């Protein structure tokens, strides 16, 4: 498995985690937990952006990995 493939799988996993956190935020009645889930989801979204930037760098350096 190439680094590019592993990175793509990682991005998908983090996106899934962010979606779960957003769902938890919507479903909980506890305001403190709702805020915490929202903050964690935001962190996951930022992580996805960082990983996607890295993916673009890899694709520029190694065009054969472009998907």
| Cβ neighbours, 10 Å, residue 6 | 10
Helix (H, G, I), strand (E, B) or coil at 15: helix
Tokens of 34: 């709702």
**Whole-number Å distance between alpha carbons of 24 and 16:** 12
pLDDT tens by residue, 8-43:
999 999 999 999 999 999 999 999 999 999 999 999
pTM above 0.85, yes or no: yes
Give start and end residues of each alpha helix (H) in 1-67: 3-27, 31-61
């Amino acid at each position: 498995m190439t680094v590019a493939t592993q990175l793509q799988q990682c991005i998908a996993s983090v996106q899934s985690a962010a979606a779960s956190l957003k769902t938890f935020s919507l479903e909980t009645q506890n305001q403190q937990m709702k805020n915490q889930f929202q903050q964690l989801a935001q962190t996951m979204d930022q992580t996805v952006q960082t990983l996607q930037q890295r993916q673009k760098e890899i694709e520029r350096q190694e065009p054969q990995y472009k998907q």
